[in-house]
Amino acid sequence: MSDQDLAARAAELRRTLNEHIYRYFILNEPIITDAEYDALYHELKTLEAEHPELITPDSPTQRVGSDLQADLPKVRHPRPVLSLGNAFSAADVRAWYDRIRRLLPADTPLDFVVEPKFDGLTVVLTYRNGVLEQGATRGNGEVGDDVTPNVRTVRSIPLRIPVDPSQPPAPARLVVRGEVLFLKKDFEALNRRMIEEGLPPYANPRNTASGTLKQKDARITASRPLTAYCYAIVEADGDVPDTQWETLHYLHALGFKVALDVARHFDSLDDALAYVESFQDRRHDLPYEADGLVIKVNSHALFEELGVVGKDPRGAIAYKFPAEEVTTRLVGVTHNVGRTGVLTPGAVLEPVAVSGVTVRQASLHNYDLIRLKDIRIGDTVIVKRSGEVIPYVVGPVIAARTGNEQPIEPPETCPACGTPVQRAEGEVAYYCPNPSCPERVARNVEYFVSRGAMDIAGLGERGVRQLLAAGLIHDEADLFTLRAEDLLQLEGYAEKKVENLLKNIEAAKDRPLDRLIGALGIRGVGTTIAALLVEHYGSIDALAAATQEELEQIPGLGPQIAGAIVEWFSQERNRALIEKFRRAGVRLQREAPAQPVSNALAGMTFVLTGTLPTLTRSEAEALIAQHGGRVTGSVSQKTSYVVVGAEPGSKLQKAQQLGIPLLDEDGLLALIGAQR
């Protein structure tokens, strides 16, 4: 490929990937699979690694964070970033309306936009000539923290606008305001990951979003899935809409995530209020936390004219939903054992209704938090439930204490198997160290068959427990030797179901090695780390033989994960597991890469230009690779040879300038020599 072709390909990949990101994160309508996305992303990443000059700020690869300097720099906002006044009832809203009516000429028509009040944190995004230049927090409204590298990792924030190039270009400078938050499902997934890794879960999505956006290391931000909804233009050099309603559509057209599914335009306050009141029941259906709805005067001119009181614009008001906290009695605590052995405390509550649902159990997060908040059995506690987030105990009502409350201690022995509980140095979690603990085994098998792991369809939590209880399996590996006649004995297993299940199990034997490694349930080893391990080791046996020192050398692996891997493979049970996998015919190796035929070209780098007489381009590339050589796209001092065919491109001149030796096809074949 000529340099020009490479640049064109990079641009094409950037455009395609950004389109898919938009489809996935904004429209929720992906048209390609994750694997296809990954392949395109990988191609761009490789291209950019070889040609750093092709990297542009709007490349999707630039969403992966890099190190930030120790202190967050400050930025002055172009205009004050205002807050909102609150209303807690229809009467409050009407009082607000009367106030603004009095400030305006009597016959001024007023219409309104109602939007969700996102419970996240404000970001101020500056685009110059369509390219994201800066992202800042609200700070004190005048000055905010510059969090640009973090903001770049948020995939619903476009790096270039308009995302759809057929849309009219954005103004030369556009400053957009939005709210960064965790979608409920993402927050729950993050907490599941924390618990699996033996770390304490986060209590509150808003605070976690805030902490995540203000990280000094943007790689951490990148590893946590934030989302941003945009709702206002702070400032623009160029034409932008005159009304809020049009602004929302305009932002959407530019490619921002906008809550158009919730937002409504009303010609009267009564209609707006009716919508606001009818919305109370729907708040839980939202994919994010909202603490109310915002009613805004639609006309920007009137909004400006109405001015500001303190930090609150008069032209808008937040109607806050009633709090979803109730009090009840904490009657007991359960200690649950997770797959990695981590113990998590759960609250047993006197049943209580919270926003229409009866709550009997709630999360207590972890033992440190219990101690920190001094939560005791018998306490009157505040319980919060919001949306699908598991209800949790906010804290005790100290004033309601009678003196009979009992402190909560982590159990000394595992509630499932009785093994003394341990606490790892520097970790919050208490855990059961017994790898054969029945509860741990059950959770491990559940995890092993789950979608993110070996993906054995037809086997869920219940099915796994049933197989364990019937004694048909004792560990993950036993799944692969299940027999139809045994399964048919089980309740609920008819011919067809058994046949399908066995077929799915058979198919799982050939899953890629990183899937298997990720499915083993080693602490801290998820899919990303598993892929890294396969890259370095290629087989389960090689990984099993790896030492702590060796593992720590791998960029991306810390001493804790390295330790967990060595520890896992040192366990008798786990070694036996691997042997059972082997006997059952489960893939324990990376899919065979094309085997090198020789290493005649080892350490050499080739550049191809022009058309060769007999070999096609890909044949020539494959041939060089088979003999241990590498093909790159452009000529540099590091190039060993340039292979020249008919009608060569500019690479030939470049080679001549740099004095790189040239080869024709015969020369290349001669270099490979007798091995061929």
Binding site for ligand IVH (CB under 6 A): 82-84, 115-118, 122, 179, 231-232, 294, 313, 316, 318
Residue 651 among the catalytic residues: no
Beginning with the edge strand found earlier in the chain, give each strand of the sheet holding 630-632 in spatial order. 630-632, 605-609, 641-644, 662-663
Nearest approach, Cβ of 91 to ligand IVH (angstroms)? 20
Cβ nearer to ligand IVH, comparing 234 with 331: 234
Q: What gap in Å lies between CA 305 and CA 284, rounded to an integer?
A: 35
Beta strand pairing call for 312-313 and 143-145: unpaired
Nearest approach, Cβ of 113 to ligand IVH (angstroms)? 9
Cβ nearer to ligand IVH, comparing 82 with 276: 82
Nearest approach, Cβ of 135 to ligand IVH (angstroms)? 14
Cβ nearer to ligand IVH, comparing 120 with 435: 120
- Cα dihedral 280, 282, 283, 285, rounded to 10, equals 170
Residue 220 CB contacts under 8 Å (≥ 6 apart), including other chains: 65, 212
The sign of the torsion formed by the CA atoms of 98, 102, 103, 107 equals: positive
What's the token pair of residue 209?
Answer: 């979003």
Nearest approach, Cβ of 234 to ligand IVH (angstroms)? 9
Q: What gap in Å lies between CA 335 and CA 255, rounded to an integer?
A: 46
Nearest approach, Cβ of 409 to ligand IVH (angstroms)? 40
Element (H, E) at 353: strand 343-354
- Cα dihedral 467, 473, 476, 481, rounded to 10, equals -110
Which residue type is seen at 182?
F
For 406, the 3-state DSSP assignment is: strand
Beta strand pairing call for 112-118 and 264-266: antiparallel
Cβ nearer to ligand IVH, comparing 295 with 437: 295
The sign of the torsion formed by the CA atoms of 268, 272, 275, 277 equals: negative
Nearest approach, Cβ of 145 to ligand IVH (angstroms)? 15
Other residues' Cβ atoms within 10 Å of the Cβ of residue 196? 19
Q: What gap in Å lies between CA 76 and CA 145, rounded to an integer?
A: 9
Nearest approach, Cβ of 235 to ligand IVH (angstroms)? 12
Q: What gap in Å lies between CA 336 and CA 415, rounded to an integer?
A: 8
Nearest approach, Cβ of 311 to ligand IVH (angstroms)? 9
Cβ nearer to ligand IVH, comparing 318 with 600: 318
19 phi/psi in degrees, rounded to 5: -65, -45
Cβ nearer to ligand IVH, comparing 146 with 291: 291
Residue 100 CB contacts under 8 Å (≥ 6 apart), including other chains: 110, 297, 306, 314, 315
Cβ nearer to ligand IVH, comparing 142 with 619: 142
Cβ nearer to ligand IVH, comparing 206 with 580: 206
Element (H, E) at 358: strand 357-363
Residue 554 CB contacts under 8 Å (≥ 6 apart), including other chains: 532, 533, 536
- Cβ contact 584:480 at 8 Å: yes
User: Which residues partner with 180 through β-bridges?
Assistant: 121, 228
User: Which residues partner with 127 through β-bridges?
Assistant: 132, 174
Cβ nearer to ligand IVH, comparing 211 with 411: 211
Given the residues 74, 117, 296, 384, select the one marked as catalytic. Answer: 117
Nearest approach, Cβ of 128 to ligand IVH (angstroms)? 22
Cβ nearer to ligand IVH, comparing 57 with 307: 307
Nearest approach, Cβ of 147 to ligand IVH (angstroms)? 15
For 651, the 3-state DSSP assignment is: helix
C-alpha separations of 555 from 278, 513, 559 in Å: 53, 20, 11
Residue 269 CB contacts under 8 Å (≥ 6 apart), including other chains: 93, 94, 97, 110, 112, 295
What's the token pair of residue 332?
Answer: 């007991």
Helix spans in 317-399 (H):
367-373
Active site residues: 117
